[in-house]
Amino acid sequence: MAAFQSLVVPAHAKLNLRLEVLGRRPDGQHEVRTLMQAISLHDLLIAERAPRTSLEGGVGEDDLVLRAQRALEAAVGRHLPARFRLVKRIPAGAGLGGGSSDAAAALRALRRLYELDCDLRAVAADLGADVGFFLAGGAAVARGRGERLCPVRPSNEWYALAWPGFEVSTARVYAAWDRVGGEGDNQLTRAALAVEPRLAEFVAMLGDGWRMTGSGSAFFRAFPERGRAERTAAGLRGCWTAVARSVGAWGPG
């Protein structure tokens, strides 16, 4: 079968339906246990074989798409030149996993473009704790830094999403957790509010029933059907909103 010359790969966002912080590890990272769910909101990565590598729509040489490509080239010991175009729909720095999902999409695209027989999981683990999850998607309980995954049955819910338009530093949130601890469905929420006072105003505006995803700053609210999610999102003002539903796994990783 002939190799693919070009591919369009959706890079889905995720929600942390629950997130528990278990403590600081000897390596300085934090041990977590979290239930992650992929959702229909996604970026698009268009990839094609090319004489030299380029990326349109990224943030430069440090973009996770290009970092993923360099890591895979190092792992397989050959050049994998490609022309990438990234169409961003997931807000950056929102806790929705957009950058990690873009990296996983790049790995999946390059494996197909160049018909590589390799396990992407080790490459993904070196790029970031969430990248491995996005190789397969669906739902999983993640442990460690988030890299140890146990797939579970996906939810069947719709979500109203809200993002205040600013990001919160993940490193600062975890450092704040060391001081203030946490509770509830997302045990980083208290720390995120301590780091970014504007987030408390945003939470007050949202009202009851909203949960933060990741280390912030996006929030979500779950509903059993689409209409209620759409009406809830439409009722918000002064922030980015979206409606998405849970999605199942798209690959074996």
State pLDDT tens for residues 41-74.
Answer: 999 999 999 999 999 998 877 899 999 999 999 9
Catalytic residue among 43, 63, 102, 130: 130
Q: Which domains, and CATH codes, for the chain?
A: 6-152 (3.30.230.10), 158-245 (3.30.70.890)
The DSSP 8-state label assigned to residue 186 in this structure reads B
State pLDDT tens for residues 86-107.
Answer: 999 999 999 999 999 999 999 9
3-state secondary structure 29-73: CEEEEEEEEEEEEEEEEEEEECCCCEEECCCCCCCHHHHHHHHHH
Catalytic residue among 14, 43, 63, 102: 14
Is 88 a known active-site residue?
A: no
The model carries a pTM of: 0.95
State pLDDT tens for residues 120-170.
Answer: 999 999 999 899 999 999 999 999 988 899 999 999 999 999 999 999 999
Q: How many C-beta atoms surround the C-beta of residue 202 within 10 A? A: 23
How many helices (H) and strands (E) the chain has is answered by 8, 10
State pLDDT tens for residues 28-50.
Answer: 889 999 999 999 999 999 999 99
Specify the pLDDT at position 1. Answer: 40
Q: Which of 142, 125, 128 is nearest to 34 (CA)?
A: 142
Is 14 a known active-site residue?
A: yes
